[in-house]
A and B are shown apart, each in its own frame.
Chain A
């Protein structure tokens, strides 16, 4: 969108000025066409050619910018000055002693030419830079994933966590255990694996968030232990007595996570 807007703008611009950015641009073009050095150029000839160009632009009904007309008048002034012998040439008021309008114009042309060349070099750098690709290292998560975790989550940590949850469940229901066999361990295993597949990792307490009875908590916990024994899970804890995180063994398959499953597995 933006790109398109720019090109339209540019197209209008070019119609306005033909291909010339400004009078200096046109002068440089004319000098180049003559194949002469800027310092060698015959300004009288140049003035004639410049005015010819402006006439053509007018004929084609192109808008001639004010800058072109100013330049044309400067060139005419230089041309007229050339016609007089040196001693009769007038010093323009306010100008420094010996200031020559020809030199002034040439100085401007030389300076402009230099910056035009510099712009060309910048353009080359711009094009080159488009083809330079920086090295993009792996995503930050990769580096963050394992190292901060405290790897030793023992069976005692797990028991401690589950007893806290059991206490909570105790408080909230003290009566109806109607559906005694609502959950089996294998169902819970499936549920845990499915949740992990969807979300990557789980907080220990989340596992029990939906539990409505002691039995469900116990079944879920047994399922967890079973998965640990089967080395399907990695258990990590960021700090002592902090939240215990559960992830799939394939993802947390680093040496410390493996070690962490060991005590729980053997004791089960």
Chain B
């Protein structure tokens, strides 16, 4: 028996999403009860990393097969979900999903800043957004998308905030590393370029490497012709 299909059958029948550890535990429990069944005993000591690797392979296979459903990992737990394009029929079947109202633009912006820069203080969020975030923070806290994570070791020891597992579930993310362009937005500080064109009224400054925006819609490609380069 292939481990891949054993795991597939477990996730197919599971009452809730299962993480790699739970799946591993099920495998070893089954092995303990297997009387002489070598195929079952074989998975007694499967490592979590292997479970994850096998599930990733299985997910890729499902993706390639282009079925109406796929295998996903949300907040560390694996489950089968339908592809979004089948929603019209599924809504007719199960009714509209009970889901809170959509987040407002300010809430999404604030949430994005927290998600990429956590742990972060309220003042730091306001620094990025340029406006007060009290009301928005209240909403995000009430919806349990963010939570207090501790206190910053600066004057006044202000609260720091971070995202919750519910945040990952709400957006269908596996982990924080799965955030779009996570590497670019997370921890790299925006540093001042060496040569800032000072007397140029057009202010054609030379951007540092990490400042080039990738999003084509923004029309902000790196300035190649900046003076002093």
Q: Are B80 and A135 touching (Cβ within 8 A)?
A: yes
A119 to B127, CA, bound (A): 17
Instruction: Chain A residues near B69: list those with CB within 8 A.
Output: 135
Q: Are B131 and A118 touching (Cβ within 8 A)?
A: no
Instruction: Chain B residues near A115: list those with CB within 8 A.
Output: 109, 112-113, 116, 128-129, 185
Contact of A42 with B108 at beta-carbon distance under 8 Å, contacts A107-B190, A117-B218, A134-B81 already known: no
A67 to B221, CA, bound (A): 29
Q: Which of A24, A42, A114, A129 contacts B171 (CB 8 A)?
A: A129
Instruction: Chain B residues near A6: list those with CB within 8 A.
Output: 101, 104
Q: Are B81 and A135 touching (Cβ within 8 A)?
A: yes
A251 to B215, CA, bound (A): 60
A86 to B196, CA, bound (A): 12
Q: Which residue of A has the minimal Cβ distance to B69?
A: A135
Per DSSP, are chain A's interface residues mostly helix, strand or loop, or mixed?
helix
A106 to B105, CA, bound (A): 22
How many of B's residues come within 8 Å of A, CB to CB?
70
- Residue-by-residue, is B143-156 near A (CB-CB < 8 Å gives 1, otherwise 0)? 00000000000000
Instruction: Please tell me if B202 contacts chain A, counting CB pairs below 8 Å.
Output: yes
Instruction: Please tell me if B220 contacts chain A, counting CB pairs below 8 Å.
Output: yes
Q: Which residue of A has the minimal Cβ distance to B225?
A: A40
Q: Which of B99, B193, B218 contacts A130 (CB 8 A)?
A: B99
Instruction: Please tell me if B66 contacts chain A, counting CB pairs below 8 Å.
Output: no
CB interface residues, A 107-156, toward B, < 8 Å = 107-108, 110-123, 125-137, 140
Q: Are B201 and A44 touching (Cβ within 8 A)?
A: yes
Q: Which of B12-20, B42-50, B55-63 forms contacts with chain A?
A: B12-20
Contact of A118 with B218 at beta-carbon distance under 8 Å, contacts A24-B129, A42-B202, A112-B128 already known: no
Q: Which of B171, B205, B219 contacts A122 (CB 8 A)?
A: B171
CB interface residues, B 54-97, toward A, < 8 Å = 69, 79-87, 90, 94, 97
How many of A's residues come within 8 Å of B, CB to CB?
63
A41 to B14, CA, bound (A): 56
Q: Are B108 and A35 touching (Cβ within 8 A)?
A: no
Q: Which residue of B has the minimal Cβ distance to A125?
A: B171
Contact of A103 with B205 at beta-carbon distance under 8 Å, contacts A126-B171, A132-B84, A133-B87 already known: yes
List 20 other contacts, CB 8 Å, given A39-B223, A85-B199, A99-B192: A23-B130, A100-B196, A102-B196, A102-B205, A110-B190, A113-B220, A114-B184, A115-B112, A117-B215, A118-B180, A118-B185, A121-B180, A130-B99, A131-B84, A132-B82, A132-B83, A133-B81, A134-B81, A134-B82, A135-B12
A-B contact pairs, 21 of them (CB 8 A): A32-B219, A38-B218, A39-B206, A40-B223, A43-B203, A112-B130, A115-B109, A115-B116, A115-B128, A118-B180, A118-B185, A123-B103, A125-B171, A125-B173, A126-B108, A126-B171, A128-B84, A132-B172, A133-B94, A134-B80, A136-B94
Interface, chain A (partner B; CB < 8 A): 2-3, 6, 10, 21-25, 32, 35-44, 65, 67, 71, 82, 85-86, 89, 98-100, 102-103, 106-108, 110-123, 125-137, 140
